[in-house]
Each structure stands twice: as C-alpha cells, then as structure tokens.
Amino acid sequence: MTALGLLSTDQRGEDDYPRIEQLLGSDVRVDLVRLAPGAAITGAAEEVRLSGADAVVRTGEGFTHDAEAEADRVEELARQTGMPASSTALAFVNAARDLGVTRVAVAAPVGTHEDTARLRGFLRAGGLEVTGTHTAEPEAASGAGAGGGGAGSDEDALLALVTAADTQDAEAVLLTDPALETAAQLPALEKAVGKPVLTASQVTVWEGLRLAERRVHAPDLGALFTRTPSWER
C-alpha cells in the first residue's frame, strides 16, 4: 500500500481525489488533511505524519508564491512531517518536465494581473515557456462544479476552457485552478486538443506518487499516467 498525504487549504475540488484514488487501484490511498488558509502547519503536519503517509503534497493554493518562497515552504513541510514533500505548483513543473514538455499554454484562475504574472514567472523559473495565458470569465468561474466556486467541472465547460487556453505552439495545456474537478474528463480533454492536459488534482497525486517512487499506469488519468516515470528510466 502506498499512502499519500494531501495538505489541503481549499475544500473546492476535493471530490476529485476519491475519484483519482479509485482509478489508481486498491493499493493506493489518498488522505486529505485540511489546513485553514494562513494557519500554521504544525498540527496538520503532525496529522499527516501519523496517518502513515509515504509522501505529502500541499494543495489548494495554486501559484500564490514565487518559486523561491515555494521551495522554502516545501522544505519546511518536509522538515515538520519527516517525509518527502512538494506542492501542486511544483507538481505542475515536475509533471511537464517528466513529459518532456517545455512550451505550455495555461488556463489560469480568475485573479489580478499580478496573480497571472506570478504564475507565468513561476513556470518560467521552472524552465517552461508560457505560450499563452487564458483567464476564465467570471461568469464561467461561477458555473458548475466545485460547489459553484470553481471554473466548472462538467465536460462542456472544461472542454471550452481547455480549447480556449490552447495555442498552436504549446506542447501541453495546464488547467491550474485547484477548484476544478477534472478526473472524469481527462481523456476527453486531451482528445480535444491533441496533447497532454495537466490539471491541479491530477498532478498533485502524480507528484505524491513520484515522491514515493511509485509507478501507476492509469490511462484514464491522461498522458501523464501512461509514461514510464523518470525515476524508473
């Protein structure tokens, strides 16, 4: 059994993780531990440690820090839990690298120009060229899925989002909003654009498995879960 601890600061999109756990098979466990935004991680980190997790990934916040600050936060999480640690933001970079992708189109959550600039800077620091950034319209962001707070989890809304974000020269499309529920639609999304689609819940679980050095072949979770991972090459 491989156990992954996810330290979540946002309940939106959390329904994706039981779906992903089911698609991965009976010997992978995904445990969610909630952390109030801005709260100290000490208690939550201890809960993750006591759960028997093999690795921990912090999720729910997206790209709220620059690359250096994010690395510091992950280092502190690893210190407090005593296990390999990462975050969803770092997971996007690592997943793209593992796919051999260097040019990405991004569908970003609704936010300020500063939020979008920080996201682009974070990806550039990770060696990724951003070929275009599409921000969901506010009315789309209040649509179906994630309790009404995300950019929609129904297939039509997600297809519209991924095709609007895609650019001709992008090698992959990133849907970075952690509120999106995408697990059930990943094959359809990738078929629509003809390239890998990376989403927050998908890369978060993949990152935990990477840290635990565990390979799972799960085509229903997209191209990311069909390749031999870098740690086995």
Question: Phi, psi at residue 103, to the nearest 5°?
Answer: -120, 125
Residue 210 has pLDDT above 60, yes or no: yes
In whole angstroms, give the CA distance from residue 130 to residue 151: 21
Q: What is the pLDDT of residues 161-179, one digit of tens each?
A: 999 999 999 999 999 999 8
Q: What is the pLDDT of residue 25?
A: 84
pLDDT at residue 233 in the model: 57
Domains (range + CATH), the chain = 2-87+202-217 (3.40.50), 91-200 (3.40.50.12500)
Give the least confident one: 14-18, 40-44, 95-99, 173-177: 40-44
Q: Alpha-carbon distance 224 to 204, whole Å?
A: 12
Per-residue pLDDT tens over the stretch 125-151: 999 999 999 987 644 444 434 444 444
pLDDT recorded at residue 5:
96
Note the Cα 204 to chain centre separation in Å. Answer: 4
CA distance 105 to 101: 11
